Amino acid sequence: MQIAEIAKAVHAENDISRWADVEVSSVAFDSRHLSQGALFVPLKGERDGHEFVNSAFENGASATLWGDDHEYPDDDRPRIVVADPLKALQALGKYYLHKINPIVVAISGSNGKTTTKDMVASILSTQFNVTKTHANFNNEIGVPVTLLNMSSNTEAVVVEMGMSNFGQLDALSKLVTPDIAVLTMIGEAHIEFFGTRDRIADAKMEITHGLSEDGTFIYNGDEPLLRERAAKVQQVKETFGRELNNDLYATSVSQGEDHIDFSVNQWPDLKFTIPMIGEYNVNNAMAAMLVGQKLHITPEHMQQGLAHVQLTENRSEWLKGSQGEKILSDVYNSNPTAVREVLTTLNELPDKGRRLIVLGDMLELGKASPELHASLANSIDDDHFQEVYLVGPQMQVLYDQLKDDGYPVDHLHYYETDQKDQLVADLKAAIQPGDIVMLKGSHGIHLENVRAQLTAK
């Protein structure tokens, strides 16, 4: 867009006529990583983004937004003055969304939203030009950036939406006005802020607040908290899950070493394959299939999209360790539901190697954290998991619980967050070729650094 169009979309407060024809090719909020011709958005974080405007221009920015509470500099660089650069970014994202006018699919949930986003995008890509949320750009900054990253030929945009408090999904849903809204599940993520799963469900239902009048709400029908709340939604509703009263449910599931085969009630003669493990991912796939069905994607194209889905980095992925072990890495986020699901999956794998599990703290669990960490002991025994490595102060509770439950102390290991080098050394001493090592923890524990050392040649 030209600056004249941008200025109108964000309600610029200054005269931009001398720069009206200047072209802007992209939008960025990091002055170090922007393309030639970008519009720089100075946001307030640990530091004020206005401090980096000069750096942005030096790195190729064509123009910048400028907060009206900052002194206007005496230069002739293109600046678009606004009351709030973040709100201006959101207004520009909404303007551009309406200009391109793609189908909008919004996805949230306590677990599985990123995997579901990837699956939906892969299924829709068999028939449409698709843009999807990059990495974890799923908040009040990332969502408008996702919209502004759409190419002009985008026919469908798949937007992941995260939240940590009330009002966030309400604002994001009203920003993107989805044609289809998807909720994967309700878990314990962010229970520190909400207190109960009921309140988490209330907050998650905000995704329907911007849903178009002729839109569709797709949700996990196995979850009573969602069924209760969905009754108040006026738009079309469709459900997925394992129970037989859902619109789409799995009729068979077969776990392979690095994939899952499954079939569903609506197309009983077809086999669907996803290139990942964990039966819980079948639910994510069925959510994506309902989106595809709504947009007239054939079951055969759904098969193709699911089989070739490209997953966002740091979600569940198999890696080869430097000592011949297999590593199941899932180090982006963690909560009790997700940990139990991965432990169940690991236990059911046909592979006969020893299982070594590395668990980092599950963050944002609030007052319930000790109880929820201790509860994982019910899913861990020495028959199925031969070595247990626990990292972080919250995991001390699980360590104590496992000891009390009789897990062999010689095979139980505990580390403070800053002892990851010792953890790596101990793992390397213990690992044998053919072992399976699972890494699971909240991103703030940074088990990706452990993974990097285990896979380094």
Decide if 89 is inside a domain: no
What confidence score (pLDDT) does residue 190 get?
A: 66
pLDDT value of residue 241: 97
| 307, 328, 357 - which closes a domain | 307
Q: At which of 22, 51, 83 does a domain end?
A: 83
Beta strands in 216-298 (DSSP E): 216-220, 236-241, 248-255, 260-264, 272-274
Average pLDDT for 54-80:
95
- Assess if residue 405 is contained within a domain: yes
Mean pLDDT of the chain: 94
Q: Are residues 185 and 36 in the same domain?
A: no
In this structure, are 70 and 164 located in the same domain? no
Q: What is the mean pLDDT of residues 422-438?
A: 95
Q: Work out the pLDDT band at 311, boundaries 50, 70, 90.
A: confident
- Answer yes or no: do 396 and 296 share one domain: no
Residue 418 lies in a domain: yes
Residues 270 and 136 in one domain: yes
In a domain, 271, yes or no: yes
- Per-residue model confidence (pLDDT) at position 348: 83
Do 343 and 302 lie in one domain? The reply is: no
Q: Which residues are annotated as a binding site for ATP?
A: 109-115
Asked whether residue 180 falls in the same domain as residue 239, the answer is: yes
Clarify whether residues 157 and 184 are in a common domain: yes
Q: How many domains does the chain have?
A: 3
pLDDT value at residue 67: 97
Q: Whole-angstrom Cα distance, residue 428 to residue 181? A: 45
The pLDDT value recorded for residue 277 is 86
Query: 3-state DSSP: the chain helix, strand, coil percent, rounded to 5?
Result: 40, 20, 40
pLDDT at residue 390 in the model: 97
Question: Does residue 193 register a pLDDT over 90?
Answer: no
Is the CB of residue 201 less than 8 Å from the CB of residue 226? Answer: yes
Residue 95, domain member (yes or no): no
7-11, 206-210, 269-273, 432-436: lowest mean pLDDT where? 432-436
Look-up: residue for tokens 């939240």? 163
Please choose, from the candidates 69, 78, 90, the residue with its C-alpha nearest in 3D space to the C-alpha of residue 10: 90
For residue 315, what pLDDT band results from cuts at 50, 70 and 90?
low
Judgement on whether residues 291 and 393 belong to the same structural domain of the protein: no
56, 145: one domain: no
Tens of pLDDT, residue by residue over 145-190, are: 999 999 999 999 999 999 989 999 999 999 999 999 999 999 876 6
The model's confidence at residue 222, banded by pLDDT at 50, 70 and 90, is very high
Q: Which helix (H) or strand (E) holds 84?
A: none
> Is 60 exceeded by the pLDDT of residue 314?
no
Using the predicted structure, report yes or no on whether residue 101 has a pLDDT greater than 90: yes
Q: What is the CATH number of the domain that holds 62?
A: 3.40.1390.10
Report, as an integer, the average pLDDT of 61-82: 95
Q: Tell me, yes or no, whether 260 and 356 share the same domain.
A: no
> Any residues with CB less than 8 A from the CB of 324 and at least 6 apart, and which?
432, 433, 434
Q: Do residues 26 and 150 touch, judged by C-beta distance below 8 A?
A: no
| Domain interval for residue 401 | 317-455
pLDDT (mean) for 286-302: 98
* Structure confidence at residue 316 as a pLDDT band (50, 70, 90): confident
Residues 36 and 164 in one domain: no
Indicate whether 451 pLDDT > 80.
yes
Question: What is the dihedral angle through the alpha carbons of 290, 292, 298, 300, rounded to the nearest 10 degrees?
Answer: -80
Q: Quote the tokens at residue 244.
A: 């037989």
Domain assignment of residue 159, yes or no: yes
Tell whether 428 is covered by a domain.
yes
Pairs from 374-380 (Cβ < 8 Å, separation ≥ 24): 374/398, 374/400, 374/401, 375/336, 376/336, 376/339, 376/340, 376/343, 377/401, 377/402, 377/405, 377/407, 379/339, 379/340, 379/343, 379/344, 380/343, 380/407
Query: What local confidence, expressed as pLDDT, does residue 398 receive?
Result: 97
Six token digits for residue 322: 């430097």
Instruction: Enter the pTM of the model.
Output: 0.86
Mean pLDDT check: name the lowest of 189-198, 246-255, 265-274, 381-390: 189-198
pLDDT at 433 over 60: yes
**Position 367 pLDDT exceeds 90:** no
Give pLDDT tens digits for 22-43.
999 999 999 998 999 999 999 9
* Binding positions: 109-115
Whether residue 439 contacts residue 428, with contact meaning beta carbons closer than 8 Å, is answered with no
Percent with pLDDT over 90 in the chain: 83
Q: How confident is the model at residue 219 (pLDDT cuts 50, 70, 90)?
A: very high
**CATH, residue 135:** 3.40.1190.10
Q: How confident is the model at residue 136 (pLDDT cuts 50, 70, 90)?
A: confident
Q: What is the CATH number of the domain that holds 339?
A: 3.90.190.20
Examine the pLDDT at 373 and tell me if it is beyond 80.
yes
Instruction: Give percent of the chain with pLDDT exceeding 70.
Output: 99
Please check whether residue 142 lies inside any domain of the structure: yes
Q: What's the half-sphere exposure (Cβ side, CA atoms, 13 Å) at 363?
A: 14
Say whether both 285 and 243 belong to one domain: yes
> Considering 266, 285, 307, which residue would you say is the last residue of a domain?
307
| pLDDT score of 337 more than 80 | yes
Rg of the chain (C-alpha set): 24
